[in-house]
A and B are shown apart, each in its own frame.
Chain A
Amino acid sequence: MIDASRLHVDIDLALDSFALKVDLQTHAQVTGVFGPSGCGKSSFVESVAGLRRQARGRIRLGESHWLDSDAGLFLPPEKRGVGYVPQSGLLFPHLSVGENLRSGFRRARDSGKDPAAICSNVVELLELHPLLDRAVSTLSGGERQRVALGRALCSAPRLLLLDEPLAALDQPLREKILPFLRRVRAEFDVPMILVSHDPIEIQALCDDVVVLREGAVIARGAPRDVLIDPSVFPIANERGFENVLPCTTIASDEWGTTVCLGSPPTELRLELINRSPGPSSASLVAIPARDVIIALERPPGISARNVLPAVIEEVHTVGNFVLVKAALSPQLPGVAVEVGRAACRELDLCRGRSVFLIVKAMSCRMFAEKA
């Protein structure tokens, strides 16, 4: 990425029961901020947006200084040029959807962009056309979030701040909106900060992740590595951790779908029973850590459709189970597998051991990707 998108945030902010203290330098396209509820994630993005006047420290994006409390500099939110998408969307209720989208046009024009062109692109990308004349009060939750995202993009922001944009939605709806966020990531060359407590969103969208607990950074790195770090995994595993892997469909019929894993695709194949959105479309597949079985030899006569050779990279005891990280191929991030402690001892699972991961076709989920 270009230097103009290098973000440096080094802030201190006193919150009710603890202090938020984050020092983050990133030039990733999407930087994730992960952590349990109330860990200070939202306060962090609000500080970056300029909505927390009390934040002390320094914030810099590229060459622009947004905050330097030692020098007495506080750039107000209207001068920072961020696109802010909070959990509740915060659409203007007195404006129509179209007017909401246009509310950031002036800023886009002032920064030398053509807002009408951006807007028509956004409307197409987020499929907002049927909503344009609607009143905000008639929108569903998912539609609201798409409009909020569209409004932020139409203002031609220099930094997009997504504060749990999908958290107010139920699980099926979240999976419907996720592809839109993936599209935005692919189509817009704008750095983003994504606050989320959903490990799927973090894996599907982020390049770099920081984990906060009570205002402090407890882990930082590539999404999967960070999420299956033993200190972070209990948070990531609250609703059952799923490994998210990129994949490409190679065959699909009424029996199910066969994909090959990785991007670019590898020889590793996975069968699942979802219908694929279309032939050879790239998408994401989720494999629950709890539903994977580890075998030392390839088992004969088994109903599970997928038996994948892997090498164990890490073994950690986390609470009453063992978290095993196994590599399917050098190109793919390691897959997290939960096994019982007794099984781990009996199979003598340890680093460097070659194993087979057994995955039922029914356990895997595929996320449709919008073309």
Chain B
Amino acid sequence: MNDATASAIILTLQVASLATLIVFIPSVVLGYYFSRSKTMTSRLVSTVVTLPLVLPPTAVGYLLLRFLAVDGPLGPEILGLRIDILLTWKAAVLAAAVMAMPLVARTARVAFDGVDGRLEMMNRTLGYGPYETFLCTSVPLASRGLFAAAILGFTRAVGEFGATVTVAGNIPFKTQTLASAIFSAQQTGQHHEAYVLIALSLALGFVAVYASELLANRPSLLHRT
């Protein structure tokens, strides 16, 4: 394994972890909102949040690029922000987060769908307000699904390529992640490096999916038996 490969692996783990951390709490809140609210607004928000899942990742990347560009809507010319993150690891985190969020939010929504709303009502009658009830009843009861959501989000972030390459580029030691390193290795005929990267991806994916399978088979992480 050469230094560039090692750097790509470490960067990927850092980017994916950070992206998961950033999107997890907002996605859990959104997932709860999508699960409990059946209004037109909630459906509309849900659709918008889900879009990155169905768009070509390069399209999402391109849109991000336009947003963050110097002459984009967030840039100094319009909103006066100096967001100088393009072609840095921060852009890779942003791309991974945007691409992982729909998966996390939708999985969280399914997790909350499985929580009996009457238990939340019961908690309310015992003197707890809606926010406390969310934290002390809904989240613990949905914990299994929420862990699965985090794992899926992490794996999505690890494998993210199209949007990342568009906004962060594919610069060895700087913004090259696992996915873009495999692409480079294939392009330059470095088969050995490609196999090493693929083996690592397999191991990572296997552990993640197996962990979520384990979670799915338990009644709940917090349920006592």
Contacts and interface: CB of A to CB of B under 8 A. Distances in A.
B141 A104 contact: no
Nearest to A136: B224
Contact of A84 (B125, B137, B225): B125
A94 B118 CA distance: 15
B127 interface: yes
B223 interface: yes
A268 interface: no
Given A76-B129, A136-B224, 10 more contacts: A77-B125, A81-B127, A92-B122, A94-B140, A94-B220, A94-B224, A96-B224, A107-B127, A110-B127, A155-B126
A104 B140 CA distance: 17
A94 B127 contact: no
B125 A51 contact: yes
Count class of interface residues, chain B: 20 to 34
Contact of B122 (A84, A94, A96, A137): A84
24 contacts: A49-B125, A50-B124, A50-B125, A51-B125, A77-B124, A78-B124, A78-B127, A78-B128, A78-B129, A82-B125, A84-B122, A90-B118, A92-B137, A93-B119, A93-B141, A93-B220, A93-B223, A94-B140, A94-B224, A103-B123, A104-B126, A107-B127, A135-B223, A137-B223
A135 B125 contact: no
Given A135-B224, A136-B224, A137-B223, A94 B141 contact: yes
Interface in A73-108: 76-78, 80-84, 86, 88, 90, 92-94, 96, 103-104, 106-107
Contacts, number: 68
B57 to A, nearest CB: 37
With most chain B CB atoms within 10 A of its CB, the pick from A78, A81, A83, A106 is A78
B199 interface: no
B222 interface: yes
A92 B124 CA distance: 12
Interface in B108-140: 116, 118-119, 121-130, 137, 140
Contact of B222 (A88, A94, A106): A94
Contacts of B225: 135, 137-138
A120 to B, nearest CB: 19
Interface of B: 116, 118-119, 121-130, 137, 140-141, 143, 219-220, 222-225
Contacts of B129: 76, 78
Count class of interface residues, chain A: 20 to 34
A156 to B, nearest CB: 10
A152 to B, nearest CB: 8
With most chain A CB atoms within 10 A of its CB, the pick from B123, B127, B220, B223 is B127
Contacts of B143: 94
B38 to A, nearest CB: 14
A76 B124 CA distance: 8
With most chain A CB atoms within 10 A of its CB, the pick from B119, B137, B219, B224 is B224
Contact of B126 (A50, A51, A76, A107): A107
Contacts of B128: 78
B125 A103 contact: no
Contacts of A78: 124-129
A150 to B, nearest CB: 13
A78 B136 CA distance: 14
Contacts of B127: 78, 81, 104, 106-107, 110, 155
A-B pairs, 10 with minimum CB distance: A107-B127, A135-B224, A77-B124, A104-B126, A84-B125, A94-B222, A90-B122, A77-B125, A94-B140, A78-B124
A103 B224 contact: no
A94 B122 CA distance: 14
B189 to A, nearest CB: 54
A237 to B, nearest CB: 32
Given A78-B127, A107-B126, A137-B223, A51 B141 contact: no
Contacts of B220: 93-94
A77 B129 CA distance: 8
Given A77-B121, A92-B119, A92-B137, A103 B126 contact: yes
Nearest to B128: A78
With most chain A CB atoms within 10 A of its CB, the pick from B122, B126, B141, B224 is B126
